[in-house]
Amino acid sequence: MRELAGARVLVLGLGRSGQSAVRFLAERGARVVAADERAPGALAGLDALRAHAELAVGRPFPDPADFDLVVPSPGVPAVRFAAARRALGDVELAFRALAVPVVAITGTNGKTTTTELCARMLVAAGLRAEAAGNIGRPALELVGRPLDVAVLEISSFQLEAVETFRPRAAVILNVTPDHLDRHGSFEGYVEAKARIVANQAGDDVAIGCADDAQARAIARRTRGRAWLFSARGPVECGAWWDAGAIVLRDAGAALERIALDGLDLAAAPPLDDVLAALLACRAVGADVAKASTALAGFTPPPHRRERVAQHAGVTWINDSKATNPDAARLALEALPGPAVWIAGGRNKGVDLAPLADLAATRVRAAVLIGEAADAIERAIAGRVPVHRARDVEQAVEIAGGLAHAGDAVLLSPACASFDQFRDYEDRGARFRAAVQAWIASRGGRT
């Protein structure tokens, strides 16, 4: 990336990805201005950046047109750098600097679990692989690492700022309405997701869910090869679940069957995630039988249908990562019995009404918090008893009093967390702590 030497570059947003971009650019000779509109006290790590960049913090962004290149953080909408001569995100920079094949994983739900699982599978197959991207570790941190494969979780925000990005394997797990406040419409969101396959060709593989119309259609846009996966039944080319086994089939090849008879499906990742990860491994040449052995010891990341406690016959589940209605739907559908459902937060421009029919059959009562409480109550009014809480701690108190033995208390907000919390992890941690305190106050143990 010799063109960076001497270039004047503006980095917008100084979270983890922004700070990694500042260091990466400075090490390659760029003259960097690092900008964030938040007050300096709200940002960690600024002192370490001073050696690499001129800081422009706590004030409006500089004019992007004054720079040779703008590197936006994922949280900065494209309208904020529309005047830039050129804009490349950290994923694009990482792709250009990496010398190994890339597995890129996107979708509305399930990205982090699939990304972590894929990296574990590749290691089990004997390859050097690490995960980064939207997972919380910036993609640029993989540059220079001793790797055979880089596994990247990619959001729609990150895909807005790619140019030549060409993953060897592009996984599209599912595409349902989300982030409409950012993309303007569902069609805009779909088009952002579709950028993951835009530059594929030749032996590149696009892997899409056969049971999701948008994911299937995006996979088939590739100029490489399209593979599909399904937990419901066979596909022509790809992978599916069949009576305790994964079946894989490539065009013109014999069936390969991987038995998973000893796998505890209740504790395992969702089957779609397993199938997608295994196909991604195959796409980069890994031994899929060896890769599948990683499932036995894999625990999904926290805040994703995480069982945090059981007391008096009630199971408490932390699904704080469910930041859109479809994720909440999946969590409700996965429960074996009735739920007291804690929901609410900041809506992302998504219609909440489709949750009403499911809630009517699965939810004993709903406890609503945050900015979207009114909208959710309107959506489920008359179908489910509704209670309101000022915060997650009060919601736990109310839910605990409503739940019966055999119920689950499910935090699955269907909304973003930024109205009352730092992020979904903060929301999940506060829920967990509140549950533990509530049970302890009644002489129980979690």
Q: What's the CATH code of the domain at 183?
A: 3.40.1190.10
Residues 313 and 215 in one domain: no
**Is 220 domain-assigned?**
yes
**Is 362 domain-assigned?**
yes
Over residues 35-74, the pLDDT tens digits come to: 999 999 989 999 999 999 999 999 999 999 999 999 999 9
**Is 445 domain-assigned?**
no
Residues 100 and 198 in one domain: yes
Over residues 280-322, the pLDDT tens digits come to: 999 999 999 999 999 988 888 899 889 999 999 999 999 999 9
**Is 283 domain-assigned?**
yes
Give the end of a domain, one of 87, 116, 150.
Answer: 87
Task: Give Cβ neighbours of residue 382 (< 8 Å, ≥ 6 apart).
Answer: none
Residues 261 and 408 in one domain: no
Catalytic residues: 111, 134, 179
- CATH value at residue 32: 3.40.50.720
Query: Number of structural domains, the chain?
Result: 3
Separation between Cα atoms, residue 312 and residue 38, nearest integer Å = 45
Regarding beta strands 238-242 and 245-249, do their DSSP bridges make them parallel or antiparallel, or are they unpaired? Answer: antiparallel
Residues 69 and 152 in one domain: no
Residues 379 and 334 in one domain: yes
Q: Contact, 176 vs 108, CB < 8 A?
A: yes
Spell out the SS3 assignment of the chain.
CHHHCCCEEEEECCCHHHHHHHHHHHHCCCEEEEEECCCHHHCCCHHHHCCCEEEEECCCCCCHHHCCEEEECCCCCHHHHCCCCCECCHHHHHHHHCCCCEEEEECCCCHHHHHHHHHHHHHHCCCCEEEEECCCCCHHHHCCCCCCEEEEECCHHHHCCCCCCCCCEEEECCCCCCCHHHHCCHHHHHHHHHHHHCCCEEEEEEEEECCCHHHHHHHCCCEEEEEEEECCCCCCCEEEEECCEEEEECCCCCCEEEECCCCCCCCCCCHHHHHHHHHHHHHCCCCHHHHHHHHHHCCCCCCCCEEEEEECCEEEEECCCCCCHHHHHHHHHHCCCCEEEEEECECCCCCCCCHHHHHHHHEEEEEEECCCHHHHHHHHCCCCCEEECCCHHHHHHHHHHHCCCCCEEEECCCCECCCCCCCHHHHHHHHHHHHHHHHHHCCCCC
**Is 383 domain-assigned?**
yes
Over residues 231-279, the pLDDT tens digits come to: 999 999 999 999 889 999 987 677 899 998 777 665 678 899 999 999 9
Residues 106 and 39 in one domain: no
pLDDT of residue 443: 81
Residues 164 and 227 in one domain: yes
pLDDT of residue 408: 96
Give the end of a domain, one of 87, 118, 144.
Answer: 87
Q: Whole-model pTM?
A: 0.87
Separation between Cα atoms, residue 31 and residue 65, nearest integer Å = 15
**Digitized pLDDT (tens) for each residue of the chain, 446 residues in all:** 678 999 999 999 999 999 999 999 999 999 999 999 999 998 999 999 999 999 999 999 999 999 999 999 999 999 999 999 999 999 999 999 999 999 999 999 999 999 999 999 999 999 999 999 999 899 999 999 999 999 999 999 999 999 999 999 999 999 999 999 999 999 999 999 999 999 999 999 999 999 999 999 999 999 999 999 999 999 999 999 998 899 999 876 778 999 987 776 656 788 999 999 999 999 999 999 999 999 988 888 899 889 999 999 999 999 999 999 999 998 999 898 999 999 999 999 999 998 999 999 999 999 999 999 999 999 999 999 999 999 999 999 999 999 999 999 999 999 999 999 999 999 999 999 999 999 999 887 65
What is the maximal distance between C-alpha atoms in the chain? 66
**Is 335 domain-assigned?**
yes
- CATH value at residue 374: 3.90.190.20
- 342 forms bridges with which residues in the sheet? 367, 411
Residues 272 and 256 in one domain: yes
Residue count of the chain: 446
Residues 223 and 352 in one domain: no
Residues 407 and 328 in one domain: yes
Give the end of a domain, one of 253, 271, 297.
Answer: 297
**Is 1 domain-assigned?**
no
**Is 203 domain-assigned?**
yes
Domain residue limits at 239: 91-297
Residues 239 and 164 in one domain: yes
Residues 200 and 100 in one domain: yes
pLDDT of residue 344: 97
